[in-house]
């Protein structure tokens, strides 16, 4: 260990030589010593053997700044600028005996610079870090942790699905899937407890099932859309041709309620898909305001078996 004031005093050759050797020794050992050099200079190095730190004098020659530990480690340091680890360098966190570590590493290719801003406080138990998509991180509760509650919209992406394991953890699950929608859709669940029926299974309903009665607008030609409802109603305001319905599917059945005009008796004829007993189209009741019921069942995409129940009162 050696320190020097770096001032070479006049003297004999031997004295000057000794003074020079002392200065060079101080330089060679980074002014090492248990206390700081008596004479200091801006940007001077000092190997502080008391703290085990290599220090450098600041530009104002008023204080020391810590550089690293004398054993080559950094120790606890404060950095005032950015730190860049090039070429996928790791940021490593060692365990208590430094035998193993955990590390963060950048991907092999980064398309553009990304900065994540951490939240300003710790989160609650079991919360996780989430991003707002613009680099700001915050604490949030998992959507479904252990019986958690989803308080917002739960969106499952195009490659995802909702899978239910069931009471036994095995290879059999139930998956909810959707047909690719052409616009936003909403399915509203009833406020009741029950079992969801499936189209592919026979059903025994324990409550009444009702079909909406869709109103047909009177015109010289009326073309029902069978995709809208099973049951329809029309009040005759014209001499009407009930044309072949659109969206016919075999197995559909229902009734069309026909109310006669209140002021003038109207007639109704039928399109070629309507099939009646004996091949003869019926005649609607001519009594003003009378109500008939055309009961039907779709046999095929070109055949509807029907019967007219007249003058119901």
Domain boundaries, the chain: 13-69, 213-309
Buried residues in 36-70 as b, exposed as e (16+ CB within 10 A): bbeeeeeebbbbbeeeebbbebeeeeeebebbeeb
Cβ-based neighbours of 141, under 8 Å, separated by 6 or more: 124, 126, 127, 128, 148
Q: Report CA torsion sign: 122, 128, 132, 136.
A: positive
Give the span between the Cα atoms of 78 and 271, in whole angstroms.
88
Per-residue pLDDT tens for 81-120?
888 889 999 988 889 998 999 999 999 999 999 999 999 9
Give the span between the Cα atoms of 142 and 133, in whole angstroms.
17
* pLDDT value of residue 7: 80
| Band (237; pLDDT cuts 50, 70, 90) | very high
Average pLDDT, the chain: 90
Beta strands, E only, the chain: 45-48, 53-57, 64-69, 91-94, 101-104, 128-131, 137-140, 162-164, 174-176, 213-215, 221-222, 231-235, 240-242, 253-259, 268-270, 274-275, 291-300, 303-309
| Band (75; pLDDT cuts 50, 70, 90) | low
A 10 A CB-CB count for 294 gives: 24
Would you say residue 71 has pLDDT above 90? Answer: no
Per-residue pLDDT tens for 121-177?
999 988 899 999 999 999 987 766 566 677 777 777 777 778 888 888 888 988 888
Sheet bearing 64-69, strands edge to edge = 45-48, 53-57, 64-69
- Looking at the chain, the whole-number percentage of residues with pLDDT higher than 70 is 96
Q: What is the mean pLDDT of residues 180-205?
A: 89
Give the span between the Cα atoms of 269 and 281, in whole angstroms.
7
* pLDDT value of residue 76: 67
* pLDDT value of residue 167: 85
Find where tokens 């050759």 sit: 13
Q: Which two tokens stand for residue 64?
A: 């020391």
Q: What are phi and psi of 52, to 5 degrees?
A: 75, 30
Q: What is the mean pLDDT of residues 303-309?
A: 98
């Amino acid at each position: 260990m050696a320190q020097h004031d770096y001032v070479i005093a006049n003297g004999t050759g031997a004295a000057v030589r000794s003074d020079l050797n002392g200065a060079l020794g101080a330089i060679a050992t980074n002014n090492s010593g248990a206390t700081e050099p008596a004479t200091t200079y801006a940007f001077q190095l000092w190997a502080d053997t008391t703290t085990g730190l290599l220090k450098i004098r600041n530009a104002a020659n008023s204080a020391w700044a810590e550089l690293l530990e004398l054993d080559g480690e950094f120790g606890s340091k404060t950095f005032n600028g950015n730190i860049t680890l090039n070429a996928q360098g790791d940021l490593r966190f060692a365990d208590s005996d430094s035998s193993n570590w955990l590390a963060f590493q950048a991907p092999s290719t980064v398309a553009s610079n990304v900065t994540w801003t951490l939240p300003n406080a710790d989160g609650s138990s079991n919360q996780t870090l989430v991003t707002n998509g613009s680099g700001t991180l915050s604490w949030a509760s998992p959507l479904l942790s252990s019986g958690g509650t989803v308080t917002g919209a739960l969106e499952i992406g195009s490659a995802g699905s909702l899978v239910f394991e069931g009471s036994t953890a095995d290879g059999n699950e139930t998956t909810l899937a959707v047909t690719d929608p052409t616009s936003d859709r909403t399915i509203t669940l009833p406020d009741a407890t029950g079992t969801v029926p499936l189209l592919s299974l026979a059903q025994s309903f324990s409550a009444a099932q009702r079909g909406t009665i869709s109103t047909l607008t009177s015109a010289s030609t009326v073309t029902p859309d069978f995709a809208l409802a099973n049951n329809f109603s029309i009040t005759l305001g014209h001499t009407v041709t009930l044309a072949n319905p659109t969206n016919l599917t075999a197995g559909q059945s229902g009734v069309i309620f026909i109310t006669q005009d209140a002021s003038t008796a109207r007639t109704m004829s039928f399109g070629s898909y309507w099939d009646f007993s004996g091949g003869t189209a019926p005649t609607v009741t001519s009594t003003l305001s009378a109500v008939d019921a055309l009961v039907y069942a779709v046999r095929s995409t070109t055949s509807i078996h029907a019967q007219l129940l007249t003058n119901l009162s």
